[in-house]
Amino acid sequence: MKIARFDNNRVGMVRDDDVIQDLTGALAQLPAHRYPFPHHDALIANLEILNNATTTRVVPLARVELLSPVANPGKIMAAPVNYTKHLEEALADKGIHHGNLVAEIHKAGIFLKATSSVVGPSEGVHLVHTDRRNDHEVELAVVIGTKGRNIAAAEALSYVAGYCIGLDMTIRGTEDRSLRKSPDSYTVLGPWLVTADEIPDPGALELSLAVNGKVRQQANTKDLILGVPELIAWASSFYTLHPGDVLLTGTPQGVGPVRPGDVMVASLERVGEMRLLVS
Ligand code: MN
């Protein structure tokens, strides 16, 4: 199932004939939470409410504004330098590493991005500090579906709700990643969530990113240094994972700068494609 959030917080199922079946009425079944709110995303924790939901209308995909498929992620975890060829390019280019220590992921660990940085493709990326180099990083994004900690790699994929494309936008420079990668709109999730049953092996997906029609990044998740099960096992040995938590699995080689006015098109096999404006 492809689950989209769109327009004024509507939720629907994307069909292969490029329409969305609006299932927003099902949201009334979500448990009513009162302050203090839980750490998880209420819809991702209760995706089964969409299974037998009534369709109120059918809308052409081209006519909706797509939002992030996860409205309230509790945390955004991200893997640095998790493709060997990106590690090599980062070490070779001072414009990327800025004298920062670029360590392989086993030493560098996982980092966090602000949840306030999340947008969907229709919102676009709004650059800050445009005098500096602002790079695109296309990544496979994993959305956690079941709460867990100390998850074994062999069990890890059963904790996944689904997958989407993630853009980990980055200002290059010397500051900590948590500053440079967390301005508003520097995490794009979309175009929708594809539930895990449709992607039995997240370790064999082509992904790519083009800027103004020119392909910059093209790779396959089979080249991840730490695959999805290992990343979930590792992250959950530090943090409890909650439904709606997002794990960005790292970007492949080909990162490069974008400028206001650029158009990015990102695609991920079995998920789809999203187009967004840089401003
Ligand atoms: Mn990244």
- pLDDT tens by residue, 25-45: 999 999 999 999 999 999 999
User: Does position 51 have pLDDT exceeding 90, yes or no?
Assistant: yes
The arithmetic mean of pLDDT across residues 140-155, rounded, is 98
pTM here is: 0.96
Q: What share of the chain is helix, strand, coil (3-state, %, to 5)?
A: 25, 35, 45
250 alpha carbon – ligand 1 mean position (Å): 5
192 C-alpha to ligand 1 centroid (Å): 19
The H or E element that residue 213 is part of is: none
Alpha helices in the chain (DSSP H): 42-45, 84-92, 94-97, 105-108, 177-180, 228-236
Q: Separation of 76 CA from ligand 1 center, angstroms?
A: 11
Mean pLDDT of 111-129: 98
Look at domain 76-277 and name its CATH class.
alpha beta
Distance 56 CA to ligand 1 centre (A): 38
Identify the band that residue 61 occupies on the pLDDT scale cut at 50, 70 and 90.
Answer: very high
How many Å lie between the centroid of ligand 1 and the Cα of residue 249? 7
What is the percent of the chain where pLDDT is above 90?
Answer: 90
Strand order in the sheet with 256-257: 170-171, 134-136, 256-257
Q: What residue spans define the domains of the chain?
A: 2-65, 76-277
**Ligand 1 centroid distance, CA of 181 (Å):** 9
Q: How far, in Å, from the CA of 137 to the mean position of ligand 1?
A: 6
Band of residue 68 on the pLDDT scale cut at 50, 70, 90 = very high
Give residue 33 CA to ligand 1 midpoint distance, Å: 33
Cα angle 228, 89, 173; round to 5: 95
pLDDT of 101 above 80: no
CA of 138 to the centre of ligand 1 (A): 7
> Would you state the structure tokens that stand for residue 216, as one six-digit string?
């910059």
Instruction: Compute, in angstroms, the gap from residue 57 CA to the centroid of ligand 1.
Output: 37
pLDDT tier for residue 196 given thresholds of 50, 70 and 90: very high
Q: Is the pLDDT of residue 172 over 70?
A: yes
For the chain, state the CA radius of gyration: 18
CA distance 28 to 30: 6
Segment among 40-49, 89-98, 123-132, 179-188 with least mean pLDDT: 89-98
Ligand 1 centroid to Cα of residue 60, in Å, is: 32
C-alpha of residue 32 to centroid of ligand 1, in Å: 35
Q: What is the rounded CA–CA span in Å between residue 94 and residue 91? A: 7
Tell me what pLDDT residue 103 has. 74
Between the CA of 214 and the centroid of ligand 1 the distance, in Å, is 20
Percent of the chain at pLDDT > 70 equals 100
* Residue 148 Cα to ligand 1 middle (Å): 24
